[in-house]
Structures are given as structure tokens and as C-alpha cells.
Amino acid sequence: MSQTGKNNSSEGETKPQTSFVNTFLRGSKAESREEKNDLQTTDFQPGDWIQKTATSDTAKPLSSEMELRSSMEENERFLQKLGKKTVDKCLDLNNCGLTTADMKEMVALLPFLLDLEELDISWNDFVGGTLHSITQQMHLVSKLKILRLGSCRLTTDDIRALGEALEMTPELEELNLSWNSKVGGSLPLILQKFQKGSKIQILELVDCALTSEDGAFLGQVLPMLESLEVLDLSMNRDIGGSLNSIAQGLKSTSNLKVLKLHSCGLSQMSVKILDVAFRYLSELRKLDLSCNKDLGGGFEDSLAQVVMLKHLEVLDLHQCSLTADDVMSLTQVIPLLSNLQELDLSANKKMGNSSENLLSRLRFLPALKSLVINNCALESESFIALAEASVHLSALEVFNLSWNKCVGGNLKLLLETLKLSTSLQVLRLSSCSLVTEDVALLASVIQTGHLAKLRKLDLSYNDSICDAGWTMFCQKVQFLKELSELDISLRPSNFRDCGQWFRHLLCTVTKLPQITEIGMKRWILPASQEEELEWFDQDRKRSIHFDHGGFQ
């Protein structure tokens, strides 16, 4: 790109690409020519041609204009090569497989992007080790509000260069450095540039190998981030030891709406520590404490302040090893969160025989849209309580009961819920020990016009359903006009021959305008049915993927 002007100055006239040129000319006219001469440059000096334009003989305006136009066309070709459109305020090169050469071309764009507000170069491995070439040009994009550098293999030098450059982006509102392990141990190099009154609203540091020291430093910086709305520290397993400092800092982030501490090495004491901070987080909408297996036993008598979270909409406690005492405490708190829309208690197997009261009181959550309690080892009493409460959850869109064996033979308990759930879009009953009578009941509900909004239906790993049951189901599933995904796969250890119901399924699929994915793993197709499937695939005008993993 540094030779762009030289390579094109001697060429003949080229047709201007108006939209791209106009986009950047607006920015280039905004600065005086003296300011352009003062711009910092990198090894490949993307601003060389600007300086030459400013100092060239006024008798050669046509030549300068052609050089400008050629540079614009080179930049547009670069974006087209990556499948991107002309940019003005947003440059999104996320997961574009950028090479080192591409990075140089991208940096050459920056002098034209004076109004740039969003830069996303996440998931590009070759960014690592070259970030300094971008940070040296940060003064050109001082209006930048969003910077995403997730999974870029950033080096310690990159982190240091970024920290120094952040002083030149006073308008920055979002910073994403997730999945960069070198951030761990170097976080202060970035955070020390944040000043009181910083405009940062979103800070995402997922899986950055943050150390306990990083967590402690973050706690000291949080009081300066008064505008912070989203803090994601997920998958940093060593910050649990510095949670005291983080919680202390959270007291000053009264505007926080999302707090994610998924898989952060939290312990039983962590619940008490966080509970003290909750009283200051009245605007919190989403709380994720999932996959902290040592939290189990910590919720007992430690949730006094959770009731202060009046606006909480999402609570994720899956795989937290909840105990019977934890469930008892949650029973007193969760029903009071009247704005709760999503609740995930999945993969807490110890709560199965003690969740009756909690599940019964879910009826007091009228706004609940997503209820995920798969793999909770529910027992019959708990399932009955859930069935009775779910009738009152008219807003339910996602219902996941997978891996709860008590559902098998008892789906009739959910009959009223299935009839009344006019908004239900996702129903998952995988590995629920369903029997033929359960599937027949489901087919009947579908035929009568209920579940009309259903988009995803998972009946996989229910190997006890006979061919007659699958036939009834396949004949009725045609009434699910919104259905896009259906899974009827068998368990990994089981293989069965497809019965005549497969022909009904093929016939039904032609009447489902939205279907794109059908899971049928480990079903064995005879040669004649394989031929039918091949003919079906060739004859259809739209793509429908039968995920069979290679029919046996």
C-alpha cells in the first residue's frame, strides 16, 4: 500500500468509484493540510501520499487527484477482497483471515476513516505481533467508540502498545479483548489508562488467563468506570481469589446491567462477598454465575440482597452443584424476582429431590420466557409441581427438560401447558425416557393446532418409542409450519432400522417451509430408503440437511 501512489500515478485515466471516494473525501476535507503533514506514520507510511498532495506544485492538481483516486480504488479493492462494503463509521473485519499484508492495507485505510466509531478485527490470528501498526494510527480515529480484538493472539508488546494508545480514544465505550491469554498478568498496562469519568460501558475479558493480581487491580479501577454497563470476566479461573477487591469496586458501578462470572473459580464464600455488592447494583439485568462447581452450599443464608435486583431478567446458575439447602434459599428469593425472563438451573443433579417447592413457586414469574432445568435428576413430586406451575407461564418460549427420566410416561402432566404455551419456540425432551404414549400425546397436541410457533423440537435419545409411535408423530408434525430443527437421533450405543415412518417423514418435510435440519443419527436405512433420500435431496429446491452421521 505504501507504493499505491507510485504504481498508479503513471497509469491512464481510471473511472472514479464515486461512493467510496466520496465517503473518504468527506473525512479528508475535514482536516487542514497542515494537520495532515503532522500525522504519525508507520513503516509503510499510509499518509505519504497525503503529505505529497499537500506540498505538491499547485500546477499539478490533476496528477494529485488521480493519485488520490487510485488510492481510494486500491482501498475499495481491499475491502471487496474480504467481502466487505465501503465503510464510514464501522470497519468490521471479524474472522476475515487477515494476513500480515492485509494488516498493512487495513492500516492504510485509517487516514481516510476520520469518523470511524467501530473497529472489529477479532478472530484474526495475524493481528498478534502487529497491533502496534494500528495503535500508532489511533490518533487518526479519536472518535472510536467500539474496539474489538477478541482472539487475535495478542502479545505482551501488543498489550503495552494498546494501553498507551487508549489515551487517544477518549470516546471509547466498548473494549473486547477476550480469548487473548497474554492479557493475563498484563491487564494493568491497559486499565491504568482509564481515568475518572471514563465512558467505557462494555468491558469483555473472557478467557484471558487473568491472574489474582489482575483481578485486584480491576477492583481498584472499577470506581473510575461509572458508565460501565457490561462486565464479562468469564473463564478466568484465578480471579476468584481477588473477588473481595472486585466486589468492592462493583459498589461504584451503579449502572451495571450485565455481570458474567461464568467459570471463574468461585467458592462458597464468593456468594456472601457478591451479595454485599448486589445492594448497589439495582440496575442489574443479567447475572451469570454458572459453572462454578465450588459454589454449592454457599447460597444458604447468603442471598439477602439478591431481592434488591428488582430489574433482574436473566439468572444463570447451571452446573453450580446446588445443594438442598441452596435450593431452599433460592426458593425464598427467585419468586420475588418478578421481572425474571430467563432461568437456568440445569446440571444441578443434587437439587432433584428437593426442588418441589422451588419449582412450584415459579408460577409467580409471569414474565418467564426461558426455563432450562435439564439434567437435574427431577423426581416425580418435583415434576408434578413443575407441571402445575408451568400452566401459569404463558410467556414461555424455551422449555428444556432433557435428561430428566421422570418425564417418560408422564408427559400427560404437561398437556395443559403444551396447549396454553402459544409462544413456545423451543421444546427439548432429549433422553427423557419417553414412551410411545408420550409421542402419541405430543402428536395429538400438534394436530389440534397447538405449538404452532415451535421452531426447534428435540426428541433425541428416546429409544423406547416404537415404530407406531414414530409413524403417528411423523404424520402430524406437518402442522408445525414454523419448525426449522427436528432431532430424533438414537443414543450413541444404539442402532435401529428405520420403519415405514421414514416415508411419512419425507412426505411431511415437503410441507414444512422452514425446516433446515433433521437429526437422525444411528438410524439404519435400507438400500431402498437410501435411494429415496438421495432422490429427495436432488429434487428439493431448498437445502434440508439430514444429519445422520453416515447411515449404517
Which whole-number Å values give the CA distances from 145 to 88, 120, 138, 400, in the listed order?
A: 13, 11, 12, 38
551: pLDDT strictly greater than 60: no
What pLDDT, on a 0 to 100 scale, did the predictor assign at position 70? 65
Q: How confident is the model at residue 539 (pLDDT cuts 50, 70, 90)?
A: low
pLDDT at residue 111, rounded to an integer: 85
Mean pLDDT (the chain, rounded): 86
Residues whose CB is less than 8 angstroms from the CB of residue 319 and which lie 6 or more positions away in sequence, other chains included: 290, 291, 293, 346, 347, 348
Is 337 contained in some domain? no
pLDDT digits 0-9 by tens, 104-144: 888 888 888 889 999 999 999 989 999 999 999 999 999 99
Q: Is residue 528 part of a domain?
A: yes
The reported pLDDT for the residue numbered 274 is: 94
Q: What are phi and psi of 519, to 5 degrees?
A: -90, 125
Instruction: Find the farthest-apart pair of alpha carbons in the chain and give their distance in angstroms, rounded.
Output: 91
CB 415 within 8 A of CB 439: no
DSSP secondary structure, 73-135, as one string: HHHHHHHHHTT----SSEEE-TT----HHHHHHHHHHGGG-TT--EEE--S-GGGTTTHHHHH
Q: What percent of the chain has pLDDT over 70?
A: 85
Strands 545-547 and 174-176: unpaired
For β-strands 118-120 and 146-148, DSSP reports them as parallel
Number of domains observed in the structure of the chain: 1
Provide the pLDDT for residue 46: 40
pLDDT band at residue 61 using 50, 70 and 90 as cut-offs: low
pLDDT of residue 410: 97
Q: What percent of the chain has pLDDT over 90?
A: 69
Give the SS3 label for residue 249: helix
85 vs 277, residue with greater confidence:
277
In tens, the pLDDT along 317-353 reads 999 999 999 999 999 999 999 999 999 999 999 998 8
Residue 418 resides in a domain: yes
Given a contact cutoff of 8 angstroms between Cβ atoms, the answer to whether 192 and 165 are in contact is: no
What residues contact 10, with CB distance under 8 A and at least 6 apart? none
Cα dihedral 493, 497, 501, 503, rounded to 10, equals 120
**Segment 544-548 mean pLDDT:** 84
Within a domain: residue 454?
A: yes
Of 67-76, 176-185, 231-240, 287-296, give the lowest mean pLDDT range: 67-76
Who has greater pLDDT, 54 or 370? 370
| Start-end of H helices in 345-414 | 356-360, 380-390
Residue 399: DSSP 8-state: E
Can you give the CATH number for the domain in which 531 is found? 3.80.10.10
**470 lies in which domain range?**
397-551
Report the predicted TM-score, pTM, of the whole model to 2 decimal places.
Answer: 0.84
* Rounded Cα–Cα distance for residues 408 and 411 (Å): 7
Query: How many Å is the Cα radius of gyration of the chain?
Result: 29
Residue 246 has pLDDT above 50, yes or no: yes
Measured between alpha carbons, how far is 12 from 14 in angstroms, rounded to an integer? Answer: 6
Give the contacts of 227 (CB within 8 A, at least 6 positions apart): 173, 198, 199, 200, 201, 255
pLDDT digits (tens, 9 = 90+) for 255-300: 999 999 999 999 999 999 999 999 999 999 999 999 999 999 999 8
- Residue 524's H or E segment, with its range, is strand 523-524
For strand 496-497 and strand 523-524, is the pairing parallel, antiparallel, or unpaired?
parallel
pLDDT in tens, 449-485: 999 999 999 999 999 999 999 999 999 999 999 999 9
Is 506 domain-assigned? Answer: yes
As a whole number of angstroms, the distance between CA 202 and CA 50 comes to 35
Distance CA 229, CA 283 (A): 9
Note whether residue 143 is domain-resident: no
pLDDT tens for each residue of 159-177: 999 999 998 999 999 999 9
Q: Is residue 253 part of a domain?
A: no
Give the strand pairing for 485-487 and 496-497: unpaired
Asked whether residue 188 is assigned to any structural domain, the reply reads: no
Q: At residue 17, does pLDDT exceed 90?
A: no
Counted residue by residue, the chain has a size of 552
Supply the pLDDT for residue 543.
78
Burial 73-110 (b: 16+ CB within 10 A, else e): bbbbebbeeeeeebbbeebbbeebebeeebbbbbbbbb
Distance CA 98, CA 82 (A): 9
